[in-house]
Copies of this chain bind each other. A is one copy, B any other.
Amino acid sequence: MIQGMTPLAGPDRAELDLVEVLQALGDPVRLQIVRVLAATDGPIACHEIPIPVAKSTGSHHLKVLREAGVVSAEVDGTRKYHTLRRADLDERFPGLLDSVLGD
Residues in chain A within 8 A of chain B (CB atoms): 18-20, 22-23, 25-28, 31, 92-96, 98-100, 102-103
Contact = CB atoms under 8 A, between A and B. Distances in A.
Majority-rule SS of A interface residues: helix
Contacts of A95: 95-96, 98-99, 102
Contacts of A92: 103
Contacts of A23: 22-23, 26-27
A99 B94 CA distance: 6
Given A25-B22, A26-B19, A27-B19, A99 B96 contact: yes
Nearest to A31: B19
Contacts of A31: 18-19, 22
